[in-house]
A and B are shown apart, each in its own frame.
Chain A
């Protein structure tokens, strides 16, 4: 944050309100990007603390620390916080900071909307977590206890935590829709002269598909939770079998949003990877067009496969087969992306700075997520794996190793550009190795637990699962503590450090590296021309 302040000082003609008012009223894409990323980091620790409490409870069989009701609240709010308040704002923060720099635009297209979009997030986060505090004072019975999926009829019958979560999801959804509209308008209308769509940086392409997916699916979630709200309070029976409704309908509506959501979280990271890999391999990204078409294909396929999340709910065999094959079809464009990432590194002059370490770690671990996803997509096998710890391990390989480690790649890659200082490479590498090792220590045993039949969302378990759960909890605590290194490294880098030049990394290419580090408060007031 201090960097942006110094830049205000370099433009004496500009007038900014000082202190808090500056951050409340800012319309500058860099300030808003910084706020998104800061918010995301804070919520990452909030969500992390929740799950550490869960892992502490699961350290041993039996109930030691908490009642099952509270356990259920923690796992559901952990997921909602991590998805909606940590991972999505981090990606939006990247887009705010980097898109205008990368495409040669002076700012985002709709700066006021941008400010509003951010300031909706803190109230939503408070709504989501407030029921925990209220319960301490004897008001209500705590936060939403249905898991993050809001499944009816449990959510129709749940306490007032469900209402808080519904309203929070509405506000978060509106914020994301505003962010998406802003990003699409910026990419379509604000590109530098000469930058055709097929010269657009891949990060911008990834975000473009994400933005369209958000616009197509978030309103469906908003509709579904609205129906839930009217079922709860206004006498409708959308999901209530007594009135002719159907609880399974909720699962269809939820996952029509929920599956594309996975790609919403991952596409910005997939867009970022070729930039990092190409920089540290000192070669252009391999297969630009193939990657763009893969993004589009994955975006289209993602809205057609939702029912693989509830294969066991009872579906006609033809429907099962359709959803199985369409799900497996996604692995084809994804395999193209993996191929392009590896081919970008092939015979490159590679060096392994922290962002590159995270990028390579991402490829390996996200590969495991993809392969275990294929197993889950198999209808016959899914009957065994459904709702087991195998699923938990699978989607943490996708969303922690794929999503969060992808975001960390971006943070280390762009932090010197944002602050003008180099972070501590030594701490960065330590953070990487601790993260990778403890991540696998946490989640690899969960594959075996799932195979052995341990169900997810359960505060107590049978004795034969004790060893693997103890290992997993140990890993989770190391993983959580390692992230303090990350926060410390960022903090020190923002405060000062070795100065970097415009290009920062030897092999970095693109408009964003032509600007000073940190970039001026208003960049690209005269747009560059791309030949």
Chain B
């Protein structure tokens, strides 16, 4: 019995199966991208608010008129403090600040606030705001009815504009949540992505 000679057919079958596993794991990494989005939208995990695609309670997309009649009742028995903040990302020469720092509201009430955004450069720039809600558990109950983040914003040289935001914190939000923070990150749409320069160049 000569076992020393390899049996290539047997090896090749096993190698084929193992390579399939490798390919499967590689595909799995990319499959996690949409899976993760679905998970975040369903649970509010990671501060992703219910976007236009996943609103299930009769609210329209954007626009006040379609959402004029909130379906849920106002819960006057408690208040939630909503705080507003924002960051301008590197590569976008804009200033932004909320005109209302914080607001005590009853869940179910519709509220309107605005941010003041100013272009500090001398050219026309397009930006896009991306919202995030903390804590994550509150995100799925934080519904934006009108928001400057629904579309790209264009500011001319030196132009300043008040950008409005209308929202409801739904009464279903857990009673343990007393504070909600809404944060925006404003990104440049048309500029190149800013890369970190070396310390030498920066100085």
What separation, in Å, do the CA atoms of A88 and B26 have in the docked complex? 21
Tell yes or no: A506 within 8 A of B by CB: no
A220 touches B28 (CB 8 A): yes
What separation, in Å, do the CA atoms of A409 and B105 have in the docked complex? 65
Min CB–CB distance B9 → chain A (angstroms) = 10
Nearest B residue to A156 via CB reads B193
Out of B11, B28, B40, B89, name the residue touching A246 (CB < 8 Å).
B40
Tell yes or no: B135 within 8 A of A by CB: yes
B195 surroundings in chain A (CB, below 8 A) = 157-159
Tell yes or no: B122 within 8 A of A by CB: no
A216 touches B25 (CB 8 A): yes
Question: Of B43-51, B55-63, B67-75, B161-169, which binds chain A?
Answer: B43-51
Nearest A residue to B21 via CB reads A215
A217 surroundings in chain B (CB, below 8 A) = 25
Tell yes or no: B79 within 8 A of A by CB: no
Tell yes or no: A314 within 8 A of B by CB: yes
- Given contacts A106-B4, A185-B14, A246-B48, could you give 16 more A-B pairs where the C-beta distance is less than 8 Å? A141-B198, A141-B199, A142-B198, A159-B196, A190-B6, A215-B21, A215-B22, A219-B24, A227-B30, A249-B32, A252-B36, A253-B29, A253-B32, A315-B46, A526-B3, A526-B4
Give the number of A-B contacts (CB < 8 Å). Answer: 127
A220 touches B29 (CB 8 A): yes
Q: Contacts A159-B198, A241-B187 given: A110-B11 contact, CB under 8 Å?
A: yes
Instruction: List A residues at the B interface (Cβ < 8 Å).
Output: 67, 69, 106, 109-110, 140-142, 154, 156-159, 177, 180-181, 184-185, 188-190, 192-193, 215-224, 227, 238, 240-242, 244, 246, 248-249, 252-253, 256, 314-317, 319, 524-527
What separation, in Å, do the CA atoms of A217 and B14 have in the docked complex? 19
B136 surroundings in chain A (CB, below 8 A) = 314-316
B154-203 at interface with A (beta carbon < 8 Å) = 185, 187-189, 193-200
B36 touches A246 (CB 8 A): yes
Min CB–CB distance B37 → chain A (angstroms) = 8
Main DSSP-derived SS at the A contact region = helix
What separation, in Å, do the CA atoms of A180 and B187 have in the docked complex? 43
A141 surroundings in chain B (CB, below 8 A) = 197-200
A181 surroundings in chain B (CB, below 8 A) = 15, 18-19
B134 surroundings in chain A (CB, below 8 A) = 314
Min CB–CB distance A73 → chain B (angstroms) = 11
A159 surroundings in chain B (CB, below 8 A) = 195-196, 198
What separation, in Å, do the CA atoms of A92 and B3 have in the docked complex? 24
What separation, in Å, do the CA atoms of A256 and B29 have in the docked complex? 9
A220 surroundings in chain B (CB, below 8 A) = 25-26, 28-29, 32
A156 surroundings in chain B (CB, below 8 A) = 193
A246 surroundings in chain B (CB, below 8 A) = 36-37, 40, 46, 48
Nearest B residue to A317 via CB reads B137
Out of B14, B128, B137, B194, name the residue touching A157 (CB < 8 Å).
B194
